[in-house]
Structure 1
Amino acid sequence: MSERRRLLVVYHTQSGNTGQLAEAVVRGARRVDETETVVKRAFDAGVEDLLACDALLLGTPENFGYMSGALKDFFDRTYYPCEGKLIALPYAVFVSAGNDGTGAVREIGRIALGYGWKEVAEPLIVRKAITGEALEQCEELGEAMASGVALRIF
């Protein structure tokens, strides 16, 4: 296990709430020295980033009961170039929701199924205000994903 494995965090934020969650996820992930954590905003992430990762964390606000347009754009740009190349890629989702967040999670899951990815953690949905407890949960999610990557559990 000499080479560091890579966790990619792709997220979008508009109001800043999902950005706070992403920062907490990254803080947790970077506690694991054996994993390289790469962070990209959804509009900046691309095929090369996706093909180079060993696991993926996706963050989005809930917009009209759906994921952000930026995250959908990321999927639109990467799906066909990556088709069949990322089977069983471990992934998890975190959502900043004004309502219940389940629509965003459901639609991300449908797209992830098309890629052939493997969900390895329950979706983390933070409803309404960002609390200290929510940030701790995000840190735990990031650390758990990075640990799983480093230990080759996923």
Structure 2
Amino acid sequence: MGEDRTLLIIWHSRTGASEQMAKAAARHENARLIRASNVTTHDLLDAAGYVFVCPENLASISGEMKEMFDTHYYAVLGKTEGRPYASIIAAGSDGEGAQRQLDRIATGWRLKRVADPKVVNFGAQKAEEIWAEKTVPPQIERECEELGLSISEGISLGVF
């Protein structure tokens, strides 16, 4: 595990949905919330587990999230094995492409998925809908908060 029991919530957002969901997942004392572009290798190595939160863009994870993985991939390879992770994807339709891509990267880091993928479909299909600021429904925020809390508790209890 990482040096401490911190759950690192890494996020990227263009229209607010992923940021809102990441902040909800981080509403507990053992969470650390960092935008993907600000993550360091040290942050990744010190964390005991991860929640990755981003939008699906053109059937892939967002560019900023992909850049975070690309930047740190080799620096953490072989050093994060077995750590727990979960994901939250803000999608315009199905989110499956982004989820598959994220899972393949996590498999390369040999992380352990500890919660079902959470894909939130906002149904945005037209340009003006896609680029519009999003508001996450309260129930979805609660589900994201519960996801973060359950993983954090699992880390604290040594379940993961």
TM-score w.r.t. the length of structure 1 is 0.91
CA distance in 1 between counterparts of 2:80 and 2:5 reads 15
Return the alpha-carbon distance in structure 2 between the equivalents of residues 131 and 38 of structure 1: 23
1:76-106 CA distance string (max 9 Å, x none): 0111011111111110000111111111110
1:94-133 paired onto structure 2 within 5 Å: 94-128=88-122, 130-133=136-139
Shift of 1:47: 0.6
User: Which residue matches 1:45?
Assistant: 39
Residue 69 of structure 2, aligned match among 59, 72, 75: 75
Please report how far the alpha carbon of residue 130 of structure 1 lies from its aligned counterpart in structure 2 after TM superposition: 2.3
Instruction: Determine which of 70, 82, 87 is the counterpart of 2:81.
Output: 87
120-129 or 100-109, which deviates more:
120-129
* Normalised TM-score (structure 2): 0.87
Query: Which AA in structure 1 matches 2:11?
Result: Y
The answer (yes or no) to whether the contact 2:11–2:18 under 8 Å persists in 1 is yes
Preserved contact between residue 4 and residue 150 of structure 1 (Cα < 8 Å): no
Matching residue within 145, 148, 154 for 1:142 = 148
Three-state SS of the structure 2 residue aligned to 1:87 is coil
Structure 1: gaps spanning 5 or more residues: none
> Per-residue deviation at 1:112?
0.6
Q: Give, as a single letter, the amino acid of the residue that structure 1 aligns with 2:119.
A: I
4+ residue stretches of structure 1 with deviation over 2 A?
none
- Residues 95 and 121 in structure 2, CA contact (< 8 A), matched pair in contact too: yes
Kindly indicate whether the alpha-carbon contact (under 8 Å) linking 1:88 and 1:117 is maintained by their aligned counterparts in 2: yes
8 Å CA contact 2:4–2:46 kept in 1: the answer is no
1:43-62 CA distances to partner (integer Å, 9 max, x unpaired)?
Answer: 00021000001000100011
Tell me the distance in 2 between the aligned counterparts of 1:69 and 1:143. 27
DSSP-derived class of the 1:43 partner: helix
What is the Cα deviation at residue 133 of structure 1? 1.4
Counting only pairs closer than 5 Å after superposition, residues 28-43 of structure 1 correspond to structure 2 as 30=28, 33=29, 36-43=30-37
Q: How far does the alpha carbon of each residue in 1:102-123 deviate from its partner, in whole angstroms, 9 at most, with x for none?
A: 1111000001111111100001
Q: CA RMSD in A?
A: 1.3
In structure 2, the residue matched to 1:16 is 16
